Amino acid sequence: MRILVVGAGASIEEARRAGAPQEFWPPSIGNFAEKLWGSPHNQFFVYWLPDYLRSLHIDPGPDPTTLFIELARNPDSGINVERLFEYCWANRGEGFRYHQGDWADLINHGILSPLTFLMSQAFYSQGEGINQLEAGKLVASKLRSGDIVLNLNYDTLFEIALEQAGRRVTYAPNSFNGDGVLVAKPHGSINLLANSESFWFAQPDSIGALPSSEDDYRNHVAIVPPRFNKSYAQHPIAQIIFQSIARTQPRNLTFWGVGLTDSDVDLIEIYRSWMRSAVTVEVINPDAAAVAGKVSGILARKVNAYASIEEWLDGNLAGAVHKPPIAYTSDRYVHNIA
């Protein structure tokens, strides 16, 4: 059985193959703020950002968003989206002066709305709906029934690609009988609706659809933004999804478009637990050698590196890094999260 871990690089590769203008490509951690907040199409409100900059003894000036983006470009500045979201999480609900719904607004206007806009521009054809997602379909061709996808992205591009490739998609923690592919999204998803008591997944292609007003279901509730010192224990929905696959024993572990970051403590822990059964560990990434070397160093395992999906499908290694010396389930399942 294979576990495929899907990261931001997978969605970027999808946009590249679709011929989408780079301004509409999905974000990575490195350009998260610039992509989602710096575009003339997505002017983000900044009522919380001046307070964050002042907490660092930085004058926010008349344009704190642009200032933050410029500072975040310097990795030595210590200013980045993970630190920013850490500050916002610690001060949510009472620390911000201007709005009591600050955290919900941050997720809606800072992540979901601009991401939905980028996806609509990059992957939709007028009158025809979403384009064929060629990268995802290629990767799906190697998956078998019973395989698991750990999708770290908020977008649903890979799930749509799975369906386009004729695969049945079941979202964890729904019951899975091994028919098709099980998809786990502990960071949340644009099609994951939740309230304070339960949650459920809508169709993967419901991009841009308004969240349900029934019982106050909203898709911002389950989003876990990139931030330092996060723990899935702080996010009940994420924990439920995460725990549903934690004890899986894969034979193959494949990372596609994934870059491990300092905030991935919980993820790294589960990756290491999967090492006990994994025979093969693989990385698919244009920067294959560097990423595979990082994964190898963290997991203390030999990693097979592939610079493209085609090389992975053909088994043509971009280089081997050795161990360092030292289709959607349509039923509406509701899970209590109290």
Token pair 């009158």 is found at 127
DSSP secondary structure letter of residue 110? I
Decide: helix, strand or coil at residue 93: coil
End-to-end Cα spacing for the chain? 32
* Rounded-to-integer distance, Cα 297 and Cα 118, Å: 34
Burial of 326 (0-12, 13-18, 19+ CB in 10 A): exposed
On whether the CB atoms of residues 219 and 190 are closer than 8 A, the answer is yes
Q: Where are the domains of the chain?
A: 2-17+131-321, 22-123
Token duo for residue 16 = 């590249």
Query: How is domain 2-17+131-321 classified at the architecture level of CATH?
Result: 3-Layer(aba) Sandwich (3.40)
Predicted pLDDT at 94: 61
Q: Most distant CA pair in the chain: distance in Å?
A: 56
Strands 335-336 and 198-201: antiparallel
Decide: helix, strand or coil at residue 148: strand
Token duo for residue 153 = 């992205």
On whether the CB atoms of residues 222 and 196 are closer than 8 A, the answer is no
CA distances from 268 to 200, 262, 294, 310, 323 (A): 26, 10, 12, 27, 16
Q: Which parts of the chain have pLDDT scores under 70?
A: 40-47, 94-101, 127, 207-215, 261-263, 319-338
On whether the CB atoms of residues 112 and 190 are closer than 8 A, the answer is yes
Burial of 58 (0-12, 13-18, 19+ CB in 10 A): middle
Please give the single-letter amino acid code of residue 154: Y
Predicted pLDDT at 325: 41
Please give the single-letter amino acid code of residue 146: G
SS3 content of the chain, % helix, strand, coil (to 5): 40, 15, 50
pTM strictly above 0.75: yes
SS3 string, 278-320, reads CCEEEEECCCHHHHHHHHHHHHCCCEEEECCHHHHHHCCCCEE
Residue-wise pLDDT tens digits, 153-201: 999 999 999 999 999 999 999 999 989 999 999 999 999 988 888 898 9
On whether the CB atoms of residues 184 and 150 are closer than 8 A, the answer is yes
Predicted pLDDT at 249: 95
Predicted pLDDT at 333: 47
Strands 181-184 and 148-151: parallel
